[in-house]
Amino acid sequence: MTNKTVLHEKHLEAGAKMVDFHGWEMPINYGSQMEEHHAVRKDAGMFDVSHMTIVDVAGSDAKAYLRRLVINDVAKLDVAGKALYTGMCNEQGGVIDDLIIYFFSDTEYRLVVNSATREKDLAWMNQQAQGFDITITERPEFGMIAVQGPQAKAKVATILTAEQTQAVDGMKPFFGVQAGNLFIATTGYTGENGYEIVVPQEQAADLWQQLIDAGVAPCGLGARDTLRLEAGMNLYGLDMDETVSPLAANMAWTISWEPEERNFIGREVLAAQREAGNQPKLVGLVMTDKGVLRTGLKVVTDSGEGVITSGTFSPTLQHSIAMARVPRSVKVGDEVEVEMRKKLVKVKVVKPSFVRNGKSQLD
């Protein structure tokens, strides 16, 4: 069965090319993925992300439950609206999913998880809920639109009410606020400023149209992928999955080791891996020669083989970039080789962050 978001009609209206994305019929582009990419880097673009799963966790044990469920510590959150990026792991320390948690109070949190992992995430969350006084409520009655780019906030501002404008005024990155009918968050998946806006389904098409009228370019999943890769952000299923440790997926920063007594799921295994220092790591690769690094290509280094987890042509940098999982002893600045079309091609190892706020992060 194919799911359609509440904006499906709007995509067809705009001439989108639709593809199946894990059971959802989604726009891959509206003509040119490249132009959509540049719109986000230089102006403002928007994505229908209504397929993503919103889950509200509430109840007297909500905080205790999440401190067990995810590898980061929600106890760090003490300002209403603050968001936290993290992962939830299984007992073997493999990543079940990555997610964003919004904090409203110690008894109210909102989680946004991937659509491709929706069923297993909900099953896991419910299974782990035993013994905690909480409710887990999926919120399919909302659509979600990500508006991203240097002009995104200014363009969104033209369609907000005075009350909403006041609510988002001066909001720092990685916060969310309920402003009238909209939940507006300063989060995203592009490396640009902007908002992710949660909107009641029946108002989603109108909001989309208002944004088009305000000069925001509709962008598809194609541009979403090149933008997130340039920003060095992981894609679940490619850069990590249940067989991969967060330590091997550039997610160590999302683990809170302190306090030591917090017994999050997977802690024992992850602590042992950290102690042993034997996990591979996720690095960035840059290739300035012709060609495009692609998912699955073999990486050859002096200390053993690795693999490209995500690769693409970077429309901003005009050459290919990739994320690759390689032996831990490989260092930023090293030269390694990638096997492409039966030839070994030299590429440079960099930090897995290529473009932020429209600017190259490479030297």
Partner 1 sequence: MSNIPSELKYATSHEWVRNEGDGIVTVGITEHAQDLLGDMVFVELPEVGENVSTGDDVAVAESVKAASDIYAPVSGEIVEVNEDLEDSPELVNSDAFGDGWLFKVKLDDESELEALLDAEGYASSIDED
Identify which range of 110-118, 161-169, 193-201, 310-318 contacts partner 1 by CB under 8 A.
Answer: 310-318
Total site size for partner 1, rule CB under 8 A: 15
**Minimal distance, residue 40 CB to partner 1, in Å:** 15
> Measured from the CB atom, is 143 or 315 closer to partner 1?
315
Task: With CA atoms as reference, report the closest residue to 180 among 199, 155, 204.
Answer: 199
222 touches partner 1 (CB under 8 A):
yes
Q: Rounded distance, CA 329 to CA 345, Å?
A: 20
* Residue 291 Cβ vs partner 1, minimum distance, rounded to whole Å: 7
x/- map, 31-50, partner 1, by CB under 8 A: -xxx----------------
Q: Tell me, what amino acid is at 358?
A: G
Q: Please pick, from the candidates 294, 298, 328, 348, the single residue that binds partner 1 as defined by CB under 8 A.
A: 294
Check: CB of residue 200 under 8 Å from CB of residue 144.
no
**Closest distance of CB 31 from partner 1, Å:** 10
In eight-state DSSP terms, residue 254 is: G
| By CB under 8 A, residue 357 contacts partner 1 | no
Instruction: For the CB of residue 311, give the shortest distance to partner 1 in the complex, in Å.
Output: 11
Could you tell me the smallest distance in angstroms from the CB atom of residue 346 to partner 1? 17
| Residue 195 near residue 184 (C-beta atoms within 8 A) | yes
Whichever of 18 and 71 has its CB closer to partner 1, that residue is: 18
The span of 26-34, 42-50, 94-102, 204-212 binding partner 1 (CB under 8 A) equals: 26-34
Contact 334, 306 (CB under 8 A): no
Task: Check residue 19 for interaction with partner 1 (CB under 8 A).
Answer: no
Q: Is 226 in the site for partner 1 (CB under 8 A)?
A: yes
Length of the chain: 363
Cα separation, 313 vs 288, in Å, equals 10
**For partner 1, which residue of 211, 315, 322, 325 counts as binding (CB under 8 A)?**
315
- Compute the distance between CA of residue 284 and CA of residue 319 in angstroms, rounded to an integer: 13
Cα–Cα dist 137/153, whole Å: 30
Q: What does R_g of the chain's alpha carbons equal in angstroms?
A: 20
Of 60-68, 106-114, 289-297, 343-351, which segment contacts partner 1 by CB under 8 A? Answer: 289-297
Could you give the CA distance from residue 282 to residue 351 in angstroms, rounded to a whole number? 9
Residue from 290, 342, 343, 363 in contact with partner 1 (CB under 8 A): 290
Q: How far is the CB of 292 from partner 1 (least distance, A)?
A: 5
Using CB under 8 A, which of the segments 3-11, 86-94, 176-184, 286-294 binds partner 1?
286-294
Cis before residue 259, ω within 30 degrees of 0? yes
In the chain, DSSP finds a helix count (H) and a strand count (E) of 9, 22
Burial 12-25 (b: 16+ CB within 10 A, else e): eebebebeebeebb
> According to the binding rule CB under 8 A, does residue 312 interact with partner 1?
yes
CA atoms within 13 A on the CB side of 150: 10
Interface positions with partner 1 (CB under 8 A): 28-29, 32-34, 222, 226, 290-292, 294, 312-313, 315, 341
